Amino acid sequence: MNKEIISTEKAPAAIGPYSQGVKVGNLLFISGQIPIDPATGNVVEGDVQAQTKQSIKNLQGICEAAGASLKDIVKTTVFVNDMNQFAKVNETYGEFFKEEAPARACVEVSCLPKNVMVEIEAIVLVK
């Protein structure tokens, strides 16, 4: 199987030696997305819900660049810097994944890049 690098301006550019996404066969592996607005390159202002929304929008941009959508996500991992914020993260996450939600893990970590509150990575089935 060939490996295809997925890159789009609809998500923040990689700031290190990694790709926004890598497609192998019909699977797309999306690197962790933090709440950076791709238009400005800045972390979005606001609470954990605003940051969750932007992180998911970034996932959406990468999905679309690979010919998929959020509905095609089969697994996410959500990293939060404070598990006490999980209910708010979950509320916003649920706005995007209403039916047939992907499998998910949520992990509290001590620190995330740029001191954001949330980061989300995904595995996507590209049809």
**pLDDT score for 15:** 83
Query: Mean pLDDT in each 10-residue stretch from start to end of the chain (127 residues)?
Result: 95 94 98 98 97 98 98 98 98 96 98 97 97
**Structural domain range at position 71:** 3-125
What is the length of the chain?
127
Token couple for 64: 């679309």
**pLDDT score for 92:** 98
**106 labelled catalytic:** yes
What's the CATH code of the domain at 72?
Answer: 3.30.1330.40
**pLDDT score for 7:** 97
Q: What does the buried/exposed string (b/e) look like for 55-64 if buried means 16 or more CB atoms within 10 Å of the residue's CB? A: bbbbbbbbbe
- Number of structural domains (the chain) is 1
How far CA 93 is from CA of 15, 41, 53, 89, 102, in Å, comes to: 25, 22, 7, 6, 11
Exactly one of 22, 44, 50, 106 is catalytic; which is it? 106
Global pTM?
A: 0.97
Rg (CA), the chain: 14
